[in-house]
Structure 1
């Protein structure tokens, strides 16, 4: 009898606490003590065959700001641009830290860019932004890097077309193109015939790990994964370790040569990101105890890992999805080419300076980004101070995010969201600015400018040079892991390129 009374008392206390904490939060499904809304989230994901469908279901029922309880923790999900701007720009200083997934924090040790918080993260972000500018991001030097790589890949296509009349293009072509661009920024090297097998193996490992990149694996304690799901833990660990080892081996060797006097860094014109970082690391070490503790080789490894993942996977997936959409909508492809040929007079490559004169291509790329929307479920941030918006009050410690996957299929913003329709962005010019595939606020993607330039230059110049159609079965971009936090499109489709 006493045990029953105790259980009832605990249950009533938990229920009262839930009610008290929910009063000032946005509406949402009724949570249960201990498990919150996990059962409803799982059911709606199963019912809608994916996490995005579940999040969109809750949006339709509760509005563009709603609360989902993950166990005892409330998470506020925002699926509207105006609200996202108010919270993450106006109140950005209050919510710049991420809710770090235990497994990813375990791997990173709180270092790097993607899975770090606090002063170390802030210092790495500042340094990286300054280094990117120093390396020409936003200038003609960045454009040259991208075009050099694209021209190198296209020369291979041209040779194949010369021999066979057409070139068969798979996702490998896109992955290598994007991978080489980010590699040239990071370590000054592109992937060639001798090294591309390493890259493709890493890509395979990364794609396979998508199965574990979900709400369950990203939220349970590390010990729980190790003991009860060791294969899932090992899959995530091995993928990260292999990528870290690959992208950092050049940096490790370069540091050895720097210390032995075999290598020197040109302080005026460093070759790449690693040169800039090693120079900064040497400078901070010379200061002794007064130097910033973030500049270590272990930190550099994690930063390179994060920049590689962010710069390669997202852009390559977007390009693949884009080609899929275009071969399935040949009229749109023809409209793009017509615009580009008028702008370039069929006599030169497309450049970044042409952007203001290519509204149709800009609209198509925006629609591709909306459809490819790389995150099914965005990472949450933690507010450090009370945030008031739209009549709600979020207490310190609450988790909140701009839920990009649901935002990009929000039928209040995008009419008939399942349809591929670039015209929607031509009807309202401001709508392109309100598309946020790279996130919003202080934790938005640090490589946004590089990615936007790649998408514009690669799409534009490929369509100027080649006609494209599906090779074999019409390719789709269905999500391989619809319950994953990230989107992994089915990249098994192939394309036929013909020289124009």
Structure 2
């Protein structure tokens, strides 16, 4: 009898405590002590068929700001632009801290910018942004580098053409184009015929790792993964180590030579991010922030984010254009007019005049919306968001995948319609694929330049036709991030 009473008392206390916590948060489905909403989440993932559709269902039921409990942790999702801007831009300093993803902490040892906080994150981000500015990212010098790389890849396409037509696996074309651009910025080397084989091998392995990396992997403690999901854990760690070894090989070589006096960096002739980082070490010595391990992790994180998001957007974009050839033709007509019938390359200086191309890219980014689940920020003090109380200790994010299909913001969100931004220019700022606030993607300027120049100049040079099937169906609907459709395409020389 005493045991039953004791258990009943514990359960009553847990239920009351859970109710008290729920009352200090935005609405959401009924949650249970300890396990939260995990049963409902799993059910709706199964019944709706994807992470994004599950989030959208909860948004429609509970409003643009809603709470889901990931076990004992409240997860507050914001799915409208105004609230996201108010929280993460107007109050940016309050929401600069990310949740510490256990598996990332294990891989990165609290270094880099992806999942660190505090002084180290601020120093690494500040240094990267300053270095990119010094290197001309977003300016004429970077535009020239992007065009030169595109020229090199187009030369390969033209060389392989039969009667002016080349059929290719689009992922390889864009992986090599974007990969060479980011690799040149980081370590001063592009992928040529001698190095592209190793790059594509690593890239394929990285794609495989992304394909089975799920939101659950972000939440589980490392000891749980090691104990119950050992093969999964080992695969992620191995992939991380192999990718780091590949992308940071040049940096390690320079560092070793610098330490032995065989490599000296001229501060008036900085060629890439690695040289800038090593110059800091050369002048001031190594410390807790600037050391070879930090450099390797920064190169890895910048390489992955610079590669994956842009490549995925380009592949998704051309898939959409092949499904909607009228959009492609309208954009090309605008570009031909701007560039005197294609007599010159499209330039970043043309942006103010290419209203339709800008709208087309925005719609591509809205549909691509790379992350199915965004990284969470920590709410350190009780505050109101969108008229709802959010207690301290809650994890908060702008859930971009749900925001970009919010029908109260984007009418008929499933429709691919660049004209929506012509009808209402204010919608352009509500497409936020790079995130908002202090934790927004630090490679945004480079990615925007790449997308504009690559989409625009390819439309000037080629007609495009599908080779095989087309689809907008989610390839991996339960993964952490979207994966591009396996697209084969014909490049037809204009």
Question: In which range does the TM-score fall when normalised by the shorter chain?
Answer: over 0.9
Q: What is the deviation of 1:4?
A: 1.8
What is aligned with 1:467?
Answer: 463
Q: What are the residue-to-residue correspondences of 1:268-347 with 2, within 5 Å? A: 268-285=268-285, 292-345=287-340, 346-347=342-343
Q: Distance in 2 between matches of 1:103 and 1:284?
A: 32
Q: Distance in 1 between matches of 2:407 and 2:12?
A: 39
What is aligned with 1:254?
Answer: 254
Q: What are the residue-to-residue correspondences of 1:201-220 with 2, within 5 Å? A: 201-220=201-220
What is aligned with 2:359?
Answer: 363
Q: Distance in 2 between matches of 1:71 and 1:36?
A: 4
Q: Distance in 1 between matches of 2:254 and 2:442?
A: 25
Q: What is the deviation of 1:145?
A: 1.2
- 5+ long unaligned stretches in structure 2: none
Q: What is the deviation of 1:35?
A: 0.4
Tell whether the 8 Å contact from 2:158 to 2:164 is kept in structure 1 after alignment. no
Tell whether the 8 Å contact from 1:478 to 1:489 is kept in structure 2 after alignment. no
Cα RMSD, aligned residues only: 1.2
1:247-286 Cα shifts (integer Å, max 9, x gaps): 111001011222233222120120100000001122231x
> What number of residue pairs does the alignment pair up?
492
Tell whether the 8 Å contact from 2:58 to 2:66 is kept in structure 1 after alignment. yes
Q: Give the match's secondary structure for 1:216.
A: helix
Q: What is the deviation of 1:292?
A: 4.8
What is aligned with 2:491?
Answer: 497
Q: Which structure 1 residue ranges, 4+ long, deviate > 6 Å from structure 2?
A: none
Tell whether the 8 Å contact from 2:316 to 2:485 is kept in structure 1 after alignment. no
Q: What is the deviation of 1:65?
A: 0.2
Tell whether the 8 Å contact from 1:388 to 1:394 is kept in structure 2 after alignment. yes
Q: Give the match's secondary structure for 2:375.
A: coil
Q: Give the match's secondary structure for 1:417.
A: coil
Tell whether the 8 Å contact from 1:168 to 1:495 is kept in structure 2 after alignment. yes
Confirm or deny that 1:241 pairs with 2:241: yes
My pick for the range that moved more, 223-232 or 62-71, is 223-232
1:108-166 Cα shifts (integer Å, max 9, x gaps): 111011121111111100000000001111211111111111011111112223x4421
Q: What is the deviation of 1:209?
A: 1.3
- 5+ long unaligned stretches in structure 1: 286-290
Tell whether the 8 Å contact from 2:147 to 2:453 is kept in structure 1 after alignment. yes
Q: Give the match's secondary structure for 2:437.
A: coil
Over 3 Å counting, the alpha-carbon distance change for 1:146 and 1:72 in structure 2 is same
Q: Distance in 2 between matches of 1:140 and 1:8?
A: 70
Q: What is the deviation of 1:477?
A: 4.3
Tell whether the 8 Å contact from 1:185 to 1:272 is kept in structure 2 after alignment. yes
Confirm or deny that 1:192 pairs with 2:192: yes
Q: What is the deviation of 1:490?
A: 2.3
Q: What is the deviation of 1:211?
A: 3.7
What is aligned with 2:46?
Answer: 46
Q: What is the deviation of 1:384?
A: 2.2
What is aligned with 2:74?
Answer: 74
Q: Give the match's secondary structure for 1:176.
A: helix
What is aligned with 1:84?
Answer: 84
What is aligned with 1:61?
Answer: 61
Confirm or deny that 1:117 pairs with 2:117: yes
My pick for the range that moved more, 172-181 or 7-16, is 7-16
My pick for the range that moved more, 446-455 or 260-269, is 260-269
Q: Distance in 2 between matches of 1:24 and 1:202?
A: 46
Normalising to structure 1: TM-score of the pair? 0.96
Normalising to structure 2: TM-score of the pair? 0.97
Tell whether the 8 Å contact from 1:96 to 1:383 is kept in structure 2 after alignment. no
What is aligned with 2:165?
Answer: 166
Q: Distance in 2 between matches of 1:243 and 1:20?
A: 46
What is aligned with 1:288?
Answer: none
What is aligned with 1:25?
Answer: 25
My pick for the range that moved more, 397-406 or 258-267, is 258-267
- Counterpart selection for 1:439 from 431, 435, 458: 435
Q: Distance in 2 between matches of 1:270 and 1:385?
A: 43
Q: What is the deviation of 1:349?
A: 0.2
Q: What is the deviation of 1:199?
A: 1.1
